[in-house]
Amino acid sequence: MTKVALSWSSGKDSVWTLHLLRQRRDIQIAALITTFNSEANRVAMHAVRRSLVEAQAERTALPLWVVELPWPCSNQQYEDRMRGLCQRASAEGITAVAFGDLFLQEVRDYRVRQLQGSGLEPLFPVWQIPTEQLGPAMIAAGVRAKITCVDPSKLAKSFAGQEYDLGLLQALPPGVDPCGENGEFHTFVYDAPVFTRPIAVQAGEVVERDGFVFADLLPLD
């Protein structure tokens, strides 16, 4: 049995990674790992409120391991904190870390390098699943998500806060990856097969900051 920690962004790809791993008898998921911007108290990059990620973890019945990042955060600071996280994982008998990366080779290579010498094996359960198939498959399986962040240089600002559904996939302009793997957009999942029950949210204020457009998701529970 391989004891695994899962890198958890709060978005659809990490949720689908958990869904696939839970179907394997040789895998035990031990924890979800999320990096937070400590100043904003939100997920780094996705800008999702901490309370919503805690609600996700509660609905997966898994402990949430938080990595606190300063803002601004240098790459060295990020790597130092992740190194500490890896040491904790090894001390608790975890032997692998899973990631929801789809096809960006440079990102995968970086993960592999960062885990070298840590005693932890990198796992990529959704690697190279064709995204034009993956998006509809996740939706069909019951993954429900909203767009939390948009790169306006790649996708119109109006997509921020929208539902990630078949209608949205059909509305994406040519060249935009259906799963946003090139950084076009990021999501927050409020319901999925891996959750015991949905998380009630609504899209709130949309703001532009640091070159990105963010839709603030508000918890309704």
| Domain containing residue 6 | 2-123
Provide the β-strand partners of residue 27. Answer: 2
Q: Which of residues 95, 123, 151 is at a domain's end? A: 123
Which region holds residue 118: left if phi is over 0, alpha if psi is between -120 and 50, else beta? Answer: alpha
One domain for residues 27 and 113: yes
One domain for residues 115 and 19: yes
pLDDT score at 203: 87
d(CA 58, CA 55) in angstroms, rounded, equals 5
pLDDT score at 40: 86
One domain for residues 47 and 98: yes
One domain for residues 71 and 137: no
Residue ranges of the chain whose pLDDT lies below 70: none
Q: Which residues of 5-22 are buried (b: 16+ CB within 10 A; e: fewer)?
A: bbbbbbbbbbbbbbbebe
One domain for residues 148 and 169: yes
Q: Which of residues 94, 123, 152 is at a domain's end? A: 123
Q: Measured in Å, how far apart are the chain's first and last C-alpha atoms?
A: 37
Q: What burial class does residue 197 get, using C-beta atoms within 10 Å of its C-beta: 0-12 exposed, 13-18 middle, 19+ buried?
A: exposed
pLDDT score at 136: 98
pTM summary value: 0.96
pLDDT score at 164: 98
One domain for residues 41 and 63: yes
One domain for residues 182 and 104: no
pLDDT score at 219: 92
One domain for residues 83 and 144: no
Q: Which of residues 123, 139, 167 is at a domain's end? A: 123
pLDDT of 132-168, one tens digit each? 999 999 999 999 999 999 999 999 999 999 999 999 9
One domain for residues 71 and 166: no
Residue closest to 81 by CA, chosen among 63, 101, 66, 60: 66
One domain for residues 104 and 158: no
One domain for residues 7 and 80: yes
Q: CATH code at 24?
A: 3.40.50.620
pLDDT score at 45: 78
Query: For residue 58, how many other CB atoms are within 10 A of its CB?
Result: 14
Domain count, the chain: 2
One domain for residues 87 and 11: yes
